[in-house]
Amino acid sequence: MNTLKIALFILLLPSWLAAQETVDLFIWAGQSNAQGYMGDATEYPEDEEALDNDILLNYTVSGKESSNGDWIPMQAQKGRFPSGHFGPEVSFARELKKAGYHPAIFKYTQGGTGLKRDWKSPGEGGIYDAMVTDLKKAVENMEESGHQVNIRGFIWIQGETDAGDDEAAKNYEKNLSQLIAHLRSEVVKNDALKVILGVDEQHYFVVERPIVLEAQQKIAQRDTNSIYTTMHGLPKADVTHLTPSGLVTHGHRIFKAYKVVADTRHFNSNEQTFADRWEYIGIAIEEPGYVVWGTSPVLGDDAKTHLFAARWPGNSVEPGWRSKSEIAHYVGDNPEGPFQFSDVALQGTDRETWDRYGMHNPTIHKINNEYVLLYIANNNFQQPPHPSNQRIGMAISESPYGPWEKVNGDGLLLDIPNHRNYWNYKASNGVNNPALLQHPAGGFYLYFKSEKGRMGLAIAEDLTGPYVQMPFPVTKNDQAIEDGYAFMMNDTFCLLTTDNHGLIEKGGGILWKSKDGITFGQNEQGFYPTEGYLGKEKLENAVNHYAGDIIKFERPQLLMADGKPRYLYVASGYNWFGGEAPVSYIFKYK
């Protein structure tokens, strides 16, 4: 590096590097999906919190592009595409930074390489030996700058090539165990080095020879300092490689896996994410003979907890929610239940009205000593016109036991806009899944889902309206989200939605944040898929009634107290413990 480059590098060093003594280094290695082979840098994830300048990167694509041995700020790397490429290390490192680490990523990858053929055993002159040589130089350079280097983890995303060869697959477990043992004992000098393993389970070589997948899982099972992390369900650009969004989600999964295997004391209560704070309590509502969905809580004047949920006869979600759904009221002595059925609050009129069928997805609030119940309904459950005829209604009562009076005569609160320039004009799914928020300065914000699974906003001065829609959506998402719940936390407007398609993690949730409640630019994981809280063993008997291939939450609803979430109530298309129909569940904020 010449004098000018050195001067520029010093100027570009992250501010924390000049002030901190310790750098948390992670070794990132493997083949194409570790490299980010299809991670076109034109889709490099937006750095909304300006984290990349506080993360160091030293990268090499074996035999090709590299950072020339230098430490540079996190960025897209040269090669593959005109603007460069990126891999899962970007979202992984950003999560580390947000969790209080001072991350540095040493990335050494090459697509299409096999452990036996290319990386080879230690001392055989393969890619592994070259990586170790360059790693030692990179660590020395950092230490010579006066910084202590703490090598915290080894991420190994590889195995598809070995799965394509009988002999390589047969010896994969032995070869990978040998590589990890050498790295720990001879290079890092830490037998407890954390190791995160992964391979594309859907790759045709791995499907044909699952012995490589099984080898990684066996290593993780017998070594408490290792963990296997799945790539199942991540979107693919082709049969082999993840899309840019898939790479981002993969990085989040690897971070989550590292949290599990790492020293949990590092993640103190101030460093936990919103998703980390949920603790499973139990079943909220289980009613024989009914499907239960969309459970919303409120504290009553009688000091009891009242739940309002959609229910309909039978054990099948389709088509009952569209036609037979009604809103039922359940009561418990405290937020953790048990809850007993009390009465039916609202049901379809069975007349020629906008809400003839399918009273569904309730959300309940107590405002100015009144109980305010919002819901959706439709006038024809046949497809079409359903779901384009979904609308939002409101009913009010002085007591959670009713009677309920529909506002504006017929209860209709929000319809699709008439202006053709509005984002959801003639929306294919109407307006649905309401989330009401009383604005701190007065008035009311009504959030809702509409066209292409985005969240919209309508604003009113008075509780019962009229509500005026904004002509644009308030969330920026190319994949559908739904089931928003709106609340204020730390003077910030928040929307908790599902993440059914993997904006962060498929089957999890998203916590959207905004300073004005109109533009939600920030987001983080709101909750994990169910396995993240209950583990695999407790879900072994789960029955899928309506949920695809991931056991996940639906329709999250919060019980707030003193400006903080206290409990989370969720529906699910799975009965997690093997029951005959969907039920609802309770989580506690810790």
Q: Which domain holds residue 367?
A: 286-589
Residues 239, 314, single domain; the answer is no
The token duo for 161 is 């090539």
Residues 226, 360, single domain; the answer is no
Residues 319, 228, single domain; the answer is no
pTM passes above 0.75: no
Residues 405, 338, single domain; the answer is yes
Question: Which residue is listed with tokens 């002085």?
Answer: 398
| Count of the separate structural domains present in the chain | 2
Residues 246, 297, single domain; the answer is no
In the prediction, which pLDDT does 272 show? 63
387 domain-assigned: yes
| Domain CATH code at residue 44 | 3.40.50.1110
Task: Please identify, among 238, 266, 294, the residue that sits at the C-terminal boundary of a domain.
Answer: 266
279 domain-assigned: no
Please name which of 457, 446, 550, 428 lies closest in space to residue 498, comparing C-alpha atoms. Answer: 550
In the prediction, which pLDDT does 17 show? 37
167 domain-assigned: yes
In the prediction, which pLDDT does 202 show? 86
Residues 254, 306, single domain; the answer is no
Q: Are 211 and 169 in contact (CB under 8 A)?
A: yes
Residues 211, 132, single domain; the answer is yes
Annotate 488-517 with three-state secondary structure.
EECCEEEEEEEECCCCCCCCEEEEEEECCC
217 domain-assigned: yes
In the prediction, which pLDDT does 560 show? 96
d(CA 350, CA 356): 5
2 domain-assigned: no
Residues 239, 301, single domain; the answer is no
330-346: buried (b, 16+ CB within 10 Å) or exposed (e) per residue? Answer: bbbeebebebeebeebb
Residues 210, 352, single domain; the answer is no
In the prediction, which pLDDT does 4 show? 34
In the prediction, which pLDDT does 180 show? 96
State the DSSP H helix or E strand holding residue 260, giving kind and residue range, or none if neither: helix 244-261
Residues 237, 295, single domain; the answer is no
d(CA 534, CA 572): 14
Residues 311, 253, single domain; the answer is no
Residues 217, 133, single domain; the answer is yes
Q: pLDDT tens, position by position, for the chain (590 residues)?
A: 333 332 333 333 343 333 345 789 999 999 999 999 999 999 999 998 999 999 999 999 988 899 999 999 999 999 889 999 999 999 999 999 988 788 999 999 999 999 999 999 999 999 999 999 999 999 999 888 877 788 999 999 999 999 999 999 999 999 999 999 999 999 998 888 999 999 998 899 999 999 999 999 999 888 888 999 988 888 999 989 999 999 999 999 999 889 888 753 333 334 467 898 899 999 999 999 999 999 999 999 999 999 999 999 999 999 999 999 999 999 999 999 999 999 999 999 999 999 999 999 999 999 999 999 999 999 999 999 999 999 999 999 999 999 999 999 999 999 999 999 999 999 999 999 999 999 999 999 999 999 999 999 999 999 999 999 999 999 988 789 999 999 999 999 999 999 988 777 888 999 999 999 998 977 888 999 998 899 888 999 999 999 778 899 999 999 999 989 999 999 999 999 999 999 999 999 98
DSSP-based helix, strand, coil % in the chain, nearest 5: 25, 35, 40
In the prediction, which pLDDT does 366 show? 97
In the prediction, which pLDDT does 264 show? 39
7 domain-assigned: no
23 domain-assigned: yes
d(CA 225, CA 485): 38
315 domain-assigned: yes
Of the chain, the end-to-end C-alpha distance in Å amounts to: 50
| Domain CATH code at residue 557 | 2.115.10.20
Task: Please identify, among 236, 266, 296, the residue that sits at the C-terminal boundary of a domain.
Answer: 266
13 three-state secondary structure? coil
